[in-house]
């Protein structure tokens, strides 16, 4: 349970976005203050999360910027344990009276909860592998620099007779977890994202990138790609539904395989909510498919510890098509008599754990090579409105969007009217013929993963859509 003490006050419209995050000693000071105040209560154990975010966003539409916002927020979340019960309360006020009120709110909620016989003592001090994802160039990015990149993209759209819309965001964040058993874990990172939709009536296309290092993003190249696809999609041909060879760009791969992440959670398997039930250790997918969860991968982001402060481990989830391992929180590990892997969510929660840093093994084929090897197929930019039809066989339905193109004799020959698909991910990942290098992919409805482009045979499109 969560209580918010006091309203959030986003810093919108300030003269400057420049802000320095709290020094590590101040984060520790906040944690120590909460732990000190909690000693005078009936809390047996106390856990503190301190989260600070400084985010800026430039939004544009109709070939012009129409919004620039900046938000700087610090929140403190307190979990208390008393009488075998636990609950959490949150505030964005850092004075002692507010922190004391948050502790009392957490205890009040805990007293109203039923006893949890599986509740474990909080973990003690841990050791963490260092990761550095705080990039000074990203933290120092100015609104003028974002506006300049947006202006270039909008100028390109105007020159091509198109209309551009999207966002360019950047920011920095940090988190610290501490508890009354001596654990303290800090982490900071930067983030940047550029997303653009180019429209040339009646068609549109899209491109997006996300990185801790803004210098690794290339807004102009993304704009050029979206512009080219939008122009190519102005005139579409309608094809009959059926099974096609498809070349899925990384965003389209993420759109689909992103729905598999929770299947690798030990809690999901124990509750029989996973497609891996009764399939562990058996050949399930193609031998060219391997998946790991690896927060230390150079293209990943995120803290090297989980919601309880346990160190995250690299876990080989699927090896050459065979499900090998699951991820475990402390609670699910005790039930299964395994070691926790550092993938638990902050308590209390009903989900247990999940791998949040999925990395697919890739190949050495480019999208161009995939097309060159295709006599007749479809190039898919991305998908949307995806829903799960059969969770055990992982059958998904959804639609293509923002650029579906016909490939004939190794080349794109035109655009195709969008399809609805009904496709089992298990079947799809048994039909992968070629893969590109794994890249950091992003979309609008899922967290980022490291996935390759894929050439897949016999992908099932069930009907033509109305747009």
> pLDDT tens across 290-310, in order?
999 999 999 999 999 999 999
pLDDT over threshold 60, residue 164: yes
Report how far Cα 271 is from the mean position of its chain's Cα atoms: 24
Give the residue from 68, 86, 70 showing the smallest Cα distance to 78. 86
pLDDT over threshold 70, residue 14: no
pLDDT average, residue stretch 212-223: 97
Rounded to whole angstroms, how far apart are CA atoms 60 and 165? Answer: 5
pLDDT over threshold 70, residue 263: yes
Domain boundaries, the chain: 4-216, 235-467
> pLDDT tens across 47-57, in order?
999 999 999 99
Lowest mean pLDDT, pick from 5-14, 29-38, 88-97: 5-14
pLDDT average, residue stretch 4-11: 36
Residue 109, SS3 per DSSP:
helix
> pLDDT tens across 221-233, in order?
999 999 999 999 9
Per cent of the chain over pLDDT 90 is 94
pLDDT band at 466 (very low <50, low <70, confident <90, very high): confident
- What CA dihedral angle connects 140, 143, 148 and 151, to 10 degrees? 150
Helix ranges restricted to H, 10-91: 24-38
Q: What is the pLDDT of residue 49?
A: 98
Q: What is the pLDDT of residue 375?
A: 97
Rounded to whole angstroms, how far apart are CA atoms 35 and 302? Answer: 26
pLDDT average, residue stretch 321-331: 98
Rounded to whole angstroms, how far apart are CA atoms 252 and 246? Answer: 11
pLDDT band at 15 (very low <50, low <70, confident <90, very high): very low
pLDDT band at 13 (very low <50, low <70, confident <90, very high): very low
Lowest mean pLDDT, pick from 1-15, 48-62, 90-104, 429-443: 1-15
Q: Which residue has the higher pLDDT, 56 or 447?
A: 56
Q: What is the pLDDT of residue 19?
A: 84
What mean pLDDT, rounded, does the chain reach?
A: 95
Rounded to whole angstroms, how far apart are CA atoms 294 and 340? Answer: 15
Residue recorded with tokens 């890249």: 439
pLDDT band at 16 (very low <50, low <70, confident <90, very high): low
pLDDT average, residue stretch 427-449: 93
Helix ranges restricted to H, 119-192: 136-139, 143-159
pLDDT over threshold 50, residue 70: yes
Rounded to whole angstroms, how far apart are CA atoms 310 and 304? Answer: 8
pLDDT average, residue stretch 128-156: 97
pLDDT average, residue stretch 66-91: 97
Q: Are 312 and 339 in contact (CB under 8 A)?
A: no
pLDDT over threshold 80, residue 6: no
> pLDDT tens across 336-377, in order?
999 999 999 999 999 999 999 999 999 999 999 999 999 999
Under CATH, domain 4-216 is a member of which superfamily? PmbA/TldD superfamily (3.30.2290.10)
pLDDT over threshold 60, residue 255: yes
Residues found in the chain: 467
pLDDT over threshold 80, residue 444: no
Q: Are 402 and 229 in contact (CB under 8 A)?
A: yes
pLDDT band at 11 (very low <50, low <70, confident <90, very high): very low
């Amino acid at each position: 349970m969560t209580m918010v003490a006091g309203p959030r006050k986003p810093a919108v419209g300030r003269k400057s976005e420049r802000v320095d995050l709290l020094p590590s000693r101040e984060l520790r000071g906040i944690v120590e203050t909460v732990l000190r105040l909690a000693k005078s209560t009936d809390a047996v154990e106390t856990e503190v999360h301190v989260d600070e975010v400084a985010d800026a966003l430039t939004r544009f539409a109709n070939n012009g910027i129409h919004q620039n916002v900046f938000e700087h927020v610090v929140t403190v979340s307190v979990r208390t344990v008393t009488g075998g019960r636990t609950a959490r309360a949150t505030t964005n006020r850092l004075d002692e009276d507010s922190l004391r009120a948050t502790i009392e709110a957490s205890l009040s909620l805990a007293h109203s909860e039923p006893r949890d016989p599986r509740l474990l003592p909080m973990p003690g001090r841990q050791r963490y592998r260092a990761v550095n994802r705080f990039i000074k160039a990203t933290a120092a990015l100015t609104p003028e620099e974002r506006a300049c990149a947006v202006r270039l993209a909008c100028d390109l759209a105007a020159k091509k007779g198109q209309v551009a819309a999207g966002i360019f965001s950047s920011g920095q964040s940090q988190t610290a977890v501490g508890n009354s058993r001596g654990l303290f874990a800090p982490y900071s990172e930067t983030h940047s994202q550029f997303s653009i939709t180019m429209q040339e009536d009646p068609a549109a296309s899209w491109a997006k990138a996300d990185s801790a290092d803004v210098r690794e993003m290339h807004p102009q190249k993304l704009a050029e790609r979206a512009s080219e696809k939008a122009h190519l999609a102005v005139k579409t041909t309608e094809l009959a539904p059926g099974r096609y060879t498809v070349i899925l760009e990384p965003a389209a791969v993420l759109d689909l395989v992103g729905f598999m992440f929770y299947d690798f959670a030990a809690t999901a398997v124990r509750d029989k909510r996973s497609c891996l039930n009764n399939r562990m250790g058996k050949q399930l997918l193609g031998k060219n498919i391997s998946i790991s969860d690896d927060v230390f991968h150079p293209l990943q982001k995120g803290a090297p510890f989980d919601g309880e402060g346990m160190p995250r481990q690299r876990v080989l989830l699927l090896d050459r098509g065979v499900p090998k391992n699951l991820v475990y929180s402390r609670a699910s590990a005790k039930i299964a008599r395994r070691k926790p892997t550092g993938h638990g969510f902050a308590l209390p929660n009903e989900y247990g754990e999940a791998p949040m840093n999925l990395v697919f093994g890739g190949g050495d084929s480019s999208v161009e090579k995939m097309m060159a090897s295709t006599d007749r197929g479809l190039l898919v930019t991305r998908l949307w409105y995806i829903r799960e039809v059969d969770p055990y066989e992982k059958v998904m339905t959804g639609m293509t969007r923002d650029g579906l193109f016909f490939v004939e004799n190794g080349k794109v020959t035109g655009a195709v009217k969008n399809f609805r698909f009904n496709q089992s991910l298990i079947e799809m990942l048994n039909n992968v013929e070629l893969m590109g290098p794994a890249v950091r992919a992003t979309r609008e409805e899922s967290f980022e993963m490291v996935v390759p482009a894929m050439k897949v045979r016999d992908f099932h499109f069930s009907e033509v859509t109305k747009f």
